[in-house]
């Protein structure tokens, strides 16, 4: 009996937690399917209206921005390029750097370790203007390269890969050496397949990280052609329901990725079975 009561209480508390998460998003979604005059008269809605297609299509294809040069569709394209670029670049470079740190007998290994990991303490927000002026000097303002690379300058994935490599038994390298594998072969044929879960988890993490960037794209894109979704939210004009629709669409890609790939994500980050 007490078992039943405590478990009912647990379900009840969890339900409240879920409502706190779901209700705000649902209300914005429901409101995004109404007309602006409806919202202006009656406020946010709980039930669906019938302007879904009309509102969402208009937002996707509407030419927005100060110079009316960009559509939401293009912003999604830009965000996708940026997030994918950040994910691939940071994961590949981290995978390699962690490999060198763990599997080589390097001189000054401690120094190298600190040069790489101290950077975690200095997020982009702390060096945003100098980073911008470096980009300006290198002529990388208003380019995908400019959006991607400074965000990829992160050692977080390196830290995870390093931890992971250290848990791999020494026997693996011993037997690979007996088979005559050189450093490159060992990396490609043994280590990368073993790190698959971790690689997927880090790709997801960095994709979401890249997609969600706000301040950096705001600073580094003066041309509307390079606007991303998250920063575009503040820049786009339009009536209230179109804003709702844009907000809703902006959160779909990262949420979808986290929900669909959550098993891989959690498995990699927490290294559980």
Partner 1 sequence: MKKVQFKSSYSQYLFLAPQLGILLIFLYWPIIQTFRDAFTMQDAFGFGATFVWFDNFLFIFDDPAYFIAFKFTIIYSFVITLITGSIGLLLAVQANNVMHGKSTYKTLLIWPYAIAPAVVGVMANYFFSERFGLLYHLFHELWGFNWYESVFDSYIYVIIAGSWKQISANFIFFLAGLQAIQKSVIEASMIDCKNSFRRFWTITFPLLMPTTFFLIIINITYAFFDTFGIIDTTTIGAPSGETRTLVYKAYMDGFRGLDLGSAGAQSIMMMLIVLVITIFQFRYIEGKIHYN
User: Binding residue for partner 1 (CB under 8 A) from 62, 160, 164, 211?
Assistant: 211
Please report how close the Cβ of residue 74 comes to partner 1 at its closest, in angstroms. 18
Query: CA-CA distance, 227 to 218, in Å (whole number)?
Result: 8
CB nearer to partner 1: pick between 62 and 211: 211
Query: CA-CA distance, 168 to 204, in Å (whole number)?
Result: 23
Give the DSSP per-residue string, 15-77. Answer: HHHHHHHHHHHHHHHHHTTS-HHHHHHH-S-SS--S-HHHHHHHHHH--BTTTT-B-HHHHHH
CB nearer to partner 1: pick between 22 and 61: 22
Asked if 71 and 64 count as a contact pair (C-beta separation under 8 A), the reply is: yes
Which residues, 134 to 193, sit near partner 1 by CB under 8 A? 134, 149-150, 152-153, 155, 158, 166, 170, 173-174, 177, 183-184, 187
CB nearer to partner 1: pick between 57 and 255: 255
User: Which range, of 48-56, 64-72, 120-128, 190-198, touches partner 1 by CB under 8 A?
Assistant: 120-128
Q: Supply 11's token pair.
A: 């379900």
User: Binding residue for partner 1 (CB under 8 A) from 1, 47, 53, 130?
Assistant: 130
CB nearer to partner 1: pick between 57 and 215: 215
User: Binding residue for partner 1 (CB under 8 A) from 53, 125, 180, 193?
Assistant: 125
Query: By CB under 8 A, is residue 21 in contact with partner 1?
Result: yes
Instruction: Give the DSSP letter of residue 122.
Output: S
Reduced to 3 states (helix: H, G, I; strand: E, B; else coil), residue 212 is coil
CB nearer to partner 1: pick between 1 and 20: 20
Which residues, 78 to 117, sit near partner 1 by CB under 8 A? 89, 92-94, 96-97, 99-107, 109, 112, 115-116
Give the DSSP per-residue string, 136-190. Answer: HHTT-SSSHHHHHHHHH---HHHHHHHHHHHHS-HHHHHHHHHTT--HHHIIIII
User: Binding residue for partner 1 (CB under 8 A) from 219, 235, 238, 239?
Assistant: 219
Site map for partner 1, 233-252, x if CB under 8 A? xx--------xx--x--xx-
Site map for partner 1, 45-64, x if CB under 8 A? --------------------
Nearest one of 256, 243, 239 to 229, comparing CA atoms: 243
Query: By CB under 8 A, is residue 222 in contact with partner 1?
Result: no
Q: How many CA atoms lie within 13 A of 207 on its CB side?
A: 18
Asked if 107 and 148 count as a contact pair (C-beta separation under 8 A), the reply is: no
User: Binding residue for partner 1 (CB under 8 A) from 39, 72, 82, 86?
Assistant: 39
Count of residues in contact with partner 1, rule CB under 8 A: 94
Please state whether 270 falls in left (phi above 0), alpha (psi between -120 and 50) or beta: alpha
Please report how close the Cβ of residue 70 comes to partner 1 at its closest, in angstroms. 17
Please report how close the Cβ of residue 233 comes to partner 1 at its closest, in angstroms. 5
Query: CA torsion sign, 60 to 61 to 66 to 67?
Result: positive
* Residue carrying the six token digits 């779909």: 252
């Amino acid at each position: 009996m007490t078992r039943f009561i405590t478990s009912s209480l647990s379900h009840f508390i969890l339900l409240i937690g879920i409502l706190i998460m779901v209700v705000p998003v649902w209300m914005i979604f429901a409101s995004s399917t109404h007309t602006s005059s409806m919202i202006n008269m009656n406020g946010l809605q709980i039930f669906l209206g019938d302007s879904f297609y009309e509102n969402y299509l208009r937002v996707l294809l509407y030419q927005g921005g100060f110079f009316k040069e960009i559509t939401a569709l293009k912003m999604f394209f830009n965000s996708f390029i940026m997030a994918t670029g950040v994910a691939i670049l940071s994961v590949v470079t981290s995978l390699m750097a962690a490999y060198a740190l763990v599997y080589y007998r390097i001189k000054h290994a401690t120094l190298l370790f600190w040069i790489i990991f101290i950077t975690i303490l200095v997020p982009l927000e702390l060096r945003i203007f100098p980073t911008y002026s470096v980009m300006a000097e290198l002529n990388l303002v208003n380019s995908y390269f400019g959006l991607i690379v400074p965000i990829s300058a992160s050692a977080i994935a390196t830290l995870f890969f390093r931890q992971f490599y250290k848990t791999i038994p020494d026997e693996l390298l011993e037997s690979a050496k007996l088979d005559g594998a050189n450093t490159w072969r060992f990396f490609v044929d043994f280590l990368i397949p073993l790190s698959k879960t971790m690689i997927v988890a880090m790709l997801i993490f960095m994709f979401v990280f890249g997609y969600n960037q706000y301040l950096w794209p705001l600073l580094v894109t003066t041309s509307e052609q390079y606007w991303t979704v998250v920063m575009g939210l503040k820049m786009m004009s339009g009536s209230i329901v179109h804003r709702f629709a844009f907000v809703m669409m902006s959160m779909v890609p990262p949420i979808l990725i986290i929900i669909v790939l959550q098993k891989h994500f959690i498995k990699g980050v927490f290294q559980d079975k």
